Amino acid sequence: DAGVIQSPRHEVTEMGQEVTLRCKPISGHDYLFWYRQTMMRGLELLIYFNNNVPIDDSGMPEDRFSAKMPNASFSTLKIQPSEPRDSAVYFCASSLSRDYNNEQFFGPGTRLTVL
């Protein structure tokens, strides 16, 4: 399997612009997670889905952030409008509920810089 795929790997944008991050989970996995990693706050869970349905979005920082999972093989995290404090590395991870060990498989991340 190719693992979790994220695109783009790097994104540089200007404040106020819309940013869309994309994720393709491992085929067959039914859980998908979006994390944000910063020096100040470490690794934070933003939202996660089970069978394409959002289960817990309590980590989404503001209404400027939204996430969707239209099908089992694709998810997006959107920031509109973006702000400099959104600069971070965003990770997508997936897992299989039948694997009760809860191992999550991480993508390589998207490094977002908002100028």
Partner 1 sequence: AQSVTQLGSHVSVSEGALVLLRCNYSSSVPPYLFWYVQYPNQGLQLLLKYTTGATLVKGINGFEAEFKKSETSFHLTKPSAHMSDAAEYFCAVSVGFSGGSNYKLTFGKGTLLTVNP
Handedness of CA 58, 62, 63, 68 (dihedral sign): negative
Residues 112, 89 contacting (CB under 8 angstroms): yes
Upper half-sphere CA count for residue 33 (Cβ side, 13 Å): 19
CB of 52 to partner 1, least distance (A): 13
Residue 45 or residue 72: which is nearer to partner 1 going by CB? 45
CB of 48 to partner 1, least distance (A): 7
Residue 44 or residue 74: which is nearer to partner 1 going by CB? 44
Kindly list the residues in this chain that would bind partner 1 in the complex (CB under 8 A). 4, 31, 33, 42-43, 45, 48, 50, 55-56, 91, 93, 95, 97, 100-109
Residues 93, 32 contacting (CB under 8 angstroms): yes
Residue 33 or residue 65: which is nearer to partner 1 going by CB? 33
CB of 81 to partner 1, least distance (A): 27
